[in-house]
Amino acid sequence: MLGQIIYALPFLAEGFAVTLWVSLLVVVLSLVAGVVLGVGLVYGPAPVRWAVRIFSDTIRGIPILVLIFFVYYGLPAVGIHLQSFWAAVLALTLFKTAQVVEYLRGAVGSIPRGQSEAAMAIGLTFRQRLAYVIFPQAFRRFLPPWINGVTDAVKGSALVSLLGITDLMQAINQVIGRTYEAMPLYILGALVYFAVNYALSLASRRLEQRFAFIRE
């Protein structure tokens, strides 16, 4: 069994790189988009709040697989043709963005109103209030669900194999297609995904401790 795993490793390395690349893109893009939309949801004027609310509720109500197929097979009908890789990244990013919006809303919403008022009273502008008063406090609440979401993104990236992209999952399937030895390779795959996500969880726990300034 060990022999088969060692034989498969070079084939899997490239797929693993694709998995990490997809995950990284999705996590970074969704973080930026989700924070911007989340701020719009919490502080924006009514039309912005409505738009973000509808976006978030709609996306979160659709299975991620449907979203991926919709972007790849559905959008060409309206003239948008994306390569399979970017279609997958877009669909996963949309999905994750809707989640980040909710994490941000929850985290920012947990900060007492008096904090904003105190920040206003010393003359901080909206951006300064967010940067120096609200976000540093909200970060601690944002982090645990967000890291959970990151591990979900790593696991969810396996779905891109359904569009024929050779990520770790697809690479494993290709090796199995040649060797007909499913069990050792799926175990190997599981271990790789686990190792990545466990490392993330550990990092998250350490970060949380660092930001655990006393309160409540």
Partner 1 sequence: MSDASNAALLDVRDVSKAFGTVEVLRAVSLEVKRGEVVTIIGPSGSGKTTLLRCVNFLESYDSGSIRIDGKEVGYRDAGTRQHRSERDLAAMRAETGMVFQSFNLFPHLTAAGNIMLGLRKVRGKSEAEARQIAEHWLGRVGLAHKADSLPAELSGGQQQRVGIARAVAMEPKILLLDEITSALDPELVGEVLAVVRSLAEDGMTMLMVTHEMAFARDASSRIVFMADGGVSAVGPPAEILAAEASNERLRSFLARFRASHF
Point out which residues bind partner 1 (CB under 8 A): 112, 114-115, 117-126, 128, 132-133, 136-137, 213-215
User: Of 33 and 48, which CB lies nearer to partner 1 in the complex structure?
Assistant: 48
Q: Whose Cβ is closer to partner 1: residue 24's or residue 36's?
A: 36
Tokens for 10, please give them: 């070079």
- Residue closer to partner 1 by CB (options 137, 166) is 137
Q: Which is nearer to partner 1, 2 or 122 (CB)?
A: 122
Q: How far apart, in whole angstroms, are the C-alpha atoms of residue 1 and residue 185?
A: 9
For the bound state, the minimum distance from the C-beta of residue 138 to partner 1, rounded and expressed in Å, comes to 10
| Smallest separation, CB 114 to partner 1 (Å) | 4
Give the other-Cβ count within 10 Å of 23's Cβ. 25
Give me the least distance between CB of 48 and partner 1, in Å please. Answer: 16
Q: Which residues contact 115 (CB under 8 A, 6 or more apart)?
A: 133, 134, 137
120 neighbors 129 (Cβ within 8 angstroms): yes
Greatest Cα-to-Cα distance within the chain, rounded to the nearest angstrom: 69
Non-local (6+) Cβ contacts of 200 within 8 A are 147, 150, 151, 154
The nearer residue to partner 1, 45 or 79, going by C-beta atoms, is 45
- AA identity, residue 3: G
Q: Which residues contact 27 (CB under 8 A, 6 or more apart)?
A: 96, 150, 153
Least CB distance to partner 1 at residue 36 (A): 17
Q: How far is the CB of 39 from partner 1 (least distance, A)?
A: 14
